[in-house]
Amino acid sequence: MSKKAKASPYLKRPTDPIEIDRDRSVAGLLAKFEATSFQARNLAIAHNIWLNMLDDTCTIVLGVSGPLIPAGMRRLLAWLIRNRYVDVIITDGLTVFHDVHESLGRQHYQGSPLTAQSELQSHGIARLYDTLLSEEEVREADEWLRSFVNMQDLTRPYPTREFLNLLGHELAEIANEDGILTAAYKARIPVFCPGVTTSPLVRGIAAGRIDRKSPFLFDVIQDVVEMAHILLGSTNVGGLYFGSSLCSDFVRQAQATGTVVNARLRPLKYVVQVTLEGGAMWHPVEDADNWSRAAKELRSVTTYCDPTIALPMLVTALTQSATRQIKARRKPTFTLGRDLVMITT
């Protein structure tokens, strides 16, 4: 028998190998992950932090970026919004465009990353890694967006939050199934899109300006101001970030703006990050030393995992573990006209 390790304050909790249990739920599996290490344990911590957010008086900000909708996450994201597991959405233009694409009745298709690009182009097919879509349908979505923009008041700029709320309303009239924008419109929660100009979303809008001299403008500064007001009006704030650093960077700049207005702005209390990236992501604990953004009681975790794996596991687990929290949850409400007004409960 081997000698027991010398006593140390660091050697207190041994890992516990997972046993096979065919009757265990996803929430139960994540509970088992708590006794493991590496990204399995981080995923379990992410689940527990999300539960803490739901238990607390907390405005929950969901940030999603990258090709999650082409990968099949749209229905899941709409479910989160509809059932108010989140209160504010921050996303990129790529996500918005593909949400519009599917809301218009189009689809994404399974493909192979090994198929020659020239072969796909000869058939009018665009590719995102191993996912395919029709280039003709992409052009149709561009044209639909161009027509939608031309129906708006072109004498003033729009924050992306207001624009996406109007877009959600328009899509809700024709979509057979909710996506991010339609679910957010019906739930009356705001959707922000920082970095909108770096995405396919603006192709149709830009074409409208070139062809018809449409003067449509986004007011991205107003987005930051409105997000700062949300942070200022919240008792506590939790961030859930799936994908790149775009969404967390937007929140951080809104925090910095908020401190100019009110030095008593409360920092984020909870942060969950799920990403495949390394140093490009904002790490709130390390960042706190330089920016004083993190609360002393901050609970945070970064899980290095494909969001298309982690997100379904976390959401499925929450359907099994968060019933009490959802029923008792005190949620912020918003009015989403030309101006955003937040009403805390």
pLDDT band at 197 (very low <50, low <70, confident <90, very high): confident
Sheet containing 88-91: order of strands: 191-192, 88-91, 59-64, 237-242, 268-275, 294-304
- Residue 15: what pLDDT? 62
Can you give the pLDDT at residue 203?
Answer: 84
What confidence tens digit (pLDDT) does each residue in 134-176 have?
999 999 999 999 889 988 998 899 999 999 999 999 999 999 9
Rounded-to-integer distance, Cα 270 and Cα 299, Å: 5
Q: Give me 326's structure tokens.
A: 């959802």
Q: CA angle, corner 255, sides to 322 and 74, nearest 5?
A: 45
Rounded mean pLDDT, 243-260: 90
Runs of H (alpha helix) within the chain: 26-33, 38-55, 74-82, 93-103, 117-122, 135-150, 160-172, 180-187, 201-212, 220-232, 246-261, 284-291, 307-321, 323-328
DSSP string spanning 62-94? EEE-SSTTTTT-HHHHHHHHHTTS-SEEEE-HH
The yes-or-no verdict on residue 10 having pLDDT over 60 is no
Task: Please tell me which residue, 292 or 18, carries the higher pLDDT value.
Answer: 18
Average pLDDT on 244-271 reads 87
In the 3-class helix/strand/coil scheme, how is 108-133 assigned residue by residue? CEECCCCCCHHHHHHCCEEEECCEEE
Pairing of the two strands 333-336 and 340-343:
antiparallel
Distance CA 276, CA 273 (A): 10
Lowest-confidence region among 3-17, 249-263, 267-281: 3-17
Question: Rounded to an integer, what distance in angstroms lies between the CA atom of residue 259 and that of residue 281?
Answer: 22
Residue 285 confidence (pLDDT): 46
For 303-314, the DSSP string reads EES-HHHHHHHH
What pLDDT was estimated at residue 242? 97
282 pLDDT above the threshold of 90: no
At position 301, the amino acid (one-letter code) is V
Angle at 73 between CA 67 and CA 76, to 5 degrees: 150
Q: Phi first, then psi: what are they for 239, rounded to 5°?
A: -115, 130
Which pLDDT score, from 0 to 100, does residue 209 have? 78
- Of 88, 54, 89, 73, the residue nearest 318 (C-alpha): 54
Under the banding of pLDDT at 50, 70 and 90, the label for residue 207 is confident
- Residue type at 80 in one-letter notation: L
| CATH number for the domain running over 26-343 | 3.40.910.10
Q: Which amino acid is at 266?
A: R
Q: Name the residue ranges covered by the structural domains of the chain.
A: 26-343
> Of the given ranges (58-62, 76-80, 266-270), which has the lowest mean pLDDT?
266-270
* Nearby residues of 263 by Cβ (< 8 Å), 6 or more positions away: none
- pLDDT above 70 covers a percentage of the chain that reads 90
CA atoms of 213 and 263, how far apart (whole Å): 43
344: confidence class by pLDDT, cuts 50, 70, 90: confident
- Of the pLDDT bands very low, low, confident and very high (cuts 50, 70, 90), residue 280 is very low
